[in-house]
Each structure stands twice: as structure tokens, then as C-alpha cells.
Structure 1
């Protein structure tokens, strides 16, 4: 089968899942190409994420220059003549479907947290996003939700589309259960991983960090953002590391004591799966996506307000035992539920259908 993945947001979790899919398909001897757009947070060596047999094609995709992007992408697709196009993220989903109008190509579309889930926009903007999705549906495609929450949002907003569930997965071979490796010193290290943006709730993270500024607790944000956002975090005493490689992120997880997610909405965050795989206790905002991974008081702790989040961190400082028990439960769940083997079987079955 000849497969083309199209990815505009070539970074973080979206890049991770796209490369995982492409590498699995390359392993099964499919002809796989990836058309990608480079962004500020795109790794310099994108090819390092993909199997050597995967062909990479850089193509500037932009919703601002949508017409030009459609023409350019359509030209590439005509030359490749794929059996299946798999679009990743909302912008690529729109441009890909417009590019495939009139072409005999099956389309799969993974929004990776569809824009309809956003909590930072009003009703008018959300309505416009829904109209864009409806318009793009003139080219029939199968939506692939990465979590039950995303599947329900898509089904409710676009009742006539075909939407299936394929939960995210993580390459877990680099993670080992070794709690002794985490040194418990005098200073408590609280960590989060991701881009510094409204979706990740960086202002909420700041509010919680400020509450512990005069205490022996350090807050670390592994990721990057614009200068204004980083300045606000630094002023609250949060260390911003910038973007790191996967191995460096894993090292950061193993050196921390607690993972704190203040995200306001998620598709299904790879960062939480990786934190669980590192057997790291988790306190997370009970938003869409987070609730698909964390079961309260079973695999982590969920909060609804800033004060609840602060209280949970305080409780962790006083007694880590119940949090560590949750971390152990989460560790065992992760290696079954989010394994590459499970993901591979479901992905192959999806393409066969």
C-alpha cells in the first residue's frame, strides 16, 4: 500500500504519533511518505524520528496561504499517487481534504485534539471552526480520535462523519520501573512537559508555583514558548528548560518527584503517558484528555480548581505514599493499554477497513 502522511504541526505529541504510525507501516513494507511543514518548535533533525525507508518531503502548509498550499500539496499527491492520505492536525486536515477533491484517494484524518475542544475561544470562533470542518467534509474522510473524549466531541459536533477511536501509544522500551533511581533529596521537584501555551494552562501552573515559592519546592517546565510566557514563568520561580530530546525528557522525568499537568484541554497527552511509564506520581487538571488517562485516586489525582491543585501538592509533600501507589498502578496500566503492540494491531486493522 502506498501511504502519505501529511503533518503541519510537526512537533511534540503530533510528531511523535505520526512518526510512530509511519514507522510501523514501513516495518510492514508499505511505501510510506511524510509531507511535513517546518515550524519554530520542529526538531532540526526531523528525519531522526522516522525509519530510513520513510520518504520525507518538506512543504510549507499554511492556512493563511491556504489556496497556494492546496495547489502545492495537490501537485505532490498527484506525483506520488497514494492509496491513502493520513492528515494530522486541523490545518493539515483541511488542506489535505481540499487537495484531494476529485482524486481517487482514501483519507484518514487525525485531529490530535480537534479545535472544537478548545476552551480559550468564544462561541462565534468555535462555530467558525465547526463550519470549516463541515466544509472540508465535502471530501469524505474517516476521523480518527485519539481519546474517548475527542471522539465524543467530534460525534456531537459533526454527527454525520465516520469517527473511530485509536488511543495514542508510546515507545516504552526506554522506561523501566526503578523507583530507587529517583533520588529523594531535601528539595521537591515538580515537573511538566509541553509547549508553553494557553492549552497547557501555563497561567494555572504559575499560580500553583507561586504558592510554593518560599518553600523548598522547585517547579520545572520542560518545553518552550515565547519570551513573554517564559518571563512570567521565570518570575514565578519556574525553571524553563527549552525543548529537549526524548532521552533528555525521560531523564528529566526520572529526576523529578511529581508531575503536574495544568492543561485546560487535551486530545490524549503523550506527556502524561510517559510520566506514568516513568512511575512518576501525577496530579492533573480534570480536563478532556487528562481524564481519559488518569483515574482519580487509582492512577493519579485530578483537580478542578487552583485551590484543589495546591491542596493536592501540599498533601503530596506531607505524605507521598498514596501518590506512589497510584504511580505504581499507572505504570502497570500504561504498559498494556498504551503499548506500541496494541497500537500497531489497531492501526493495521483500521487501514485494512
Structure 2
């Protein structure tokens, strides 16, 4: 059977994972590579997700669930095996932890000669919303899955170190997350004397929206406002939400970027990350950032140059206050952030790294297919 193309597998079909997945899929498809995405739906999956993909990308729904459930996971595994056998890809690219485990087992069974890549997008054993015993279980799962083969691709230096030191992976690569620099609007200067501080994402335990509310509680004033770009913040059952915190609610990506461009300071209060795209986008827009000292955050911001990395909410407040009171420092750090991030996180360069990691397998198959003026495919249909 002829092998071809790339199959992406993800259960975490939303947020930064979806953004990276669409970038990789669409650029590959535009280059003539056959791309299939096996996905599951999450609450944060946008309703119009199909419109985000290149028209030739094959989208196939597969039921997968975030938490461990052996009965459901067994069904998911055999769905993945069935689809991988049908597509018979040259490369299988797995995104986030559930797909990382199930996908490696499925690839080992269905397409043993395919190249397997796994992008954690934030390691499951770093989660702080589960017990220590569950964290250990996730780490054990990662170690077991690593024995199935494939290359683990870290998206930040600190994630790379966690994988090397705790998973003891034998085959690791590092490719940082990237963004389409051209689509990110540059920060718009204000002339009303106000300072707008904001964060983008889903109000959740991971994003630590409570810390964002604490910052607003400590710092709000007639000239300082706080904006949460995303969903859930207005619904949080917390009396602190009555402070000067505006919440945009769920908006389109274009609108979210537009709102971000109106910020003076970006903050990221996360308890854990992989390499947050929102921080990268803020830096590309020319906005200084104050972030928590966790995996990913600390890699995206150059402390004292493009923003600050803080070890506590109180320290975040101190750094935010410094930027709030010094518009020249905001301007200087913002310019440094834009210059650095636009080069370092440009998806143009990062996609070339991914193509190199995919190796020449797909290119060789494309050339062979062009020789016979035909590219075989797993039927390009969209299943929802």
C-alpha cells in the first residue's frame, strides 16, 4: 500500500493546540502535502473550526477523552488504528498528552514504518489541578508511551528539560511555538492617559484567573483597567469579579488579537504551560509582558528586556506597577519584545524546522506521485 502525507491526532482541539495545528496543517496542505486531522471536540473548540483549515485538509472526528478511562480509551484506540490503516501516512504527528499515549500505541500497530512525532503542548504531569498521585500516574504513562518509540518535540527549553530529566526520553527535539507575524496587529498607542492591563484565555485553574482578579483588586484605579480576553471570567462565582475587570466573552481570533493590540501591559498568571501562544502574540504586538515563572512563560519573556518573570502574585504586582508608572519603559520593552519575538517566533522559520523534522519522506512521496501525475489519498471527506 502506498504511504503518503501527514496525519495529525489531537484530543485537545482548542486554544493554543488548535492554533498550532491549523498553522502546521494549512502550510503543509498549501505546499501540496496530504494532511488528515483526527480530532475530538472540547468545550473550547470553536463552532466554525472547519473554516480554519485549508480546504484540502481531511478532518475526521474520533471520540477521545481527556481523563483516563480504560473502557473509553480502548474504543478510541481502535478508532485511531482503523483510521491510520486507512490513511497509511508517512508521518504521524500527535498533539497533547492523551493523543501522545493512544496515538503512539495506534501507530505502532497500524503504521509501524511511519515517522511518529509527539508534541505535548504542556506536560500532563505538570498539571496542578490533580493530586500528586495522579501527577505520578501521568508521568508513568509518559514513560511507558516513550518506550513505544517516536520523537518527543518540546515547544520550549524548560519543557525540553522536564522531558529529559523526568520522562528520560531517548529521542527529543526542540521546536518553539510560532505565530503568523503578519496577522498580529501592532499595539495601538493610547492618548487618554489610561493604562489597560490584560490577559487572554479561558478562565480556568490552569490560567489562574484568581491571581488576575487579585492583581485587579490591588491595582485598579480610575486610570487603570483590567481586561480579560476570552470566556468564563464574567461567570466566575467570586465577588472580586465586580471590580474593574471587563470580560470580552468568547470572541473570534481576529477580534481577540484586536483587543490585545489595545493593551498597555500583558500578564500571564498561569500555574503551568507549554509555550503560551498568547504571550508570544502579545510580544509580537509590541506589548511588554509580566508572567509567572513556570515552564513556557519563562522561555517566552526575556526578564528585564521584553518584560518580567515573577515568582508570586505580589511580585507580579510589583513589576506591573513599575510598567504602569513608566510609559517610557513600556515603550522601550514593547519595542524590544516586538523586535525579538517577530524574528524568534515567526511561523515562516518555525515551519521550515517542522518540515526538516518531518524529513524528506513526504517530499519524496510527492515527487513520486507527480511523476505519475497523481497523488493517492485517503478519501478527502470531512466528518463532523
Deviates more, 1:306-315 or 1:127-136: 306-315
Aligned-residue RMSD, C-alpha: 1.9
Written as runs of structure 1 = structure 2, the 5 A alignment for 1:25-104 is 25-62=28-65, 63-64=68-69, 65-103=72-110, 104=112
* TM-score for both structures, normalised by structure 1: 0.93
Partner of residue 293, structure 2: 286
* TM-score for both structures, normalised by structure 2: 0.86
Deviations 1:1-29 (A, max 9, x none): 42100111111100011111111211221
Superposed structure 1 runs of 4+ greater than 4 Å apart: 230-233
* Structure 2 CA distance for partners of 1:10 and 1:233, relative to 1, 3 Å: farther
Specify the SS of the correspondent of 2:206.
Answer: helix
Counterpart-to-counterpart distance in 1, 2:137 and 2:184: 42
Specify the SS of the correspondent of 1:100.
Answer: helix
Does 1:22 pair with 2:25? yes
Counterpart-to-counterpart distance in 2, 1:144 and 1:220: 33
How much does 1:231 deviate? Answer: 4.7
Does 1:153 pair with 2:156? no
Partner of residue 214, structure 2: 207
Does 1:189 pair with 2:196? yes
- Aligned counterpart for 1:216 among listed residues 205, 218, 223: 223
Partner of residue 266, structure 1: 273
Greater relative CO (CA pairs within 8 A, separation 6+):
2
Does 1:164 pair with 2:177? no
- Aligned counterpart for 2:260 among listed residues 238, 250, 253: 253
Counterpart-to-counterpart distance in 2, 1:232 and 1:347: 46
- Aligned counterpart for 2:132 among listed residues 113, 119, 123: 123
Deviations 1:112-143 (A, max 9, x none): 01112234444322211111112223421110
Does 1:111 pair with 2:120? yes
* Structure 2 CA distance for partners of 1:217 and 1:342, relative to 1, 3 Å: same
Counterpart-to-counterpart distance in 2, 1:94 and 1:219: 39
Counterpart-to-counterpart distance in 2, 1:88 and 1:160: 17
Counterpart-to-counterpart distance in 2, 1:233 and 1:185: 26
How much does 1:160 deviate? Answer: 3.7
Counterpart-to-counterpart distance in 1, 2:258 and 2:346: 20
Counterpart-to-counterpart distance in 2, 1:226 and 1:303: 23
How many residues end up aligned between the 2 structures?
Answer: 351
- Aligned counterpart for 1:6 among listed residues 9, 15, 18: 9
* Structure 2 CA distance for partners of 1:230 and 1:21, relative to 1, 3 Å: farther
Deviations 1:142-175 (A, max 9, x none): 1010001111001111214311001000011123
Specify the SS of the correspondent of 1:102.
Answer: helix
* Structure 2 CA distance for partners of 1:230 and 1:41, relative to 1, 3 Å: farther
Larger Rg: 2
Does 1:338 pair with 2:345? yes
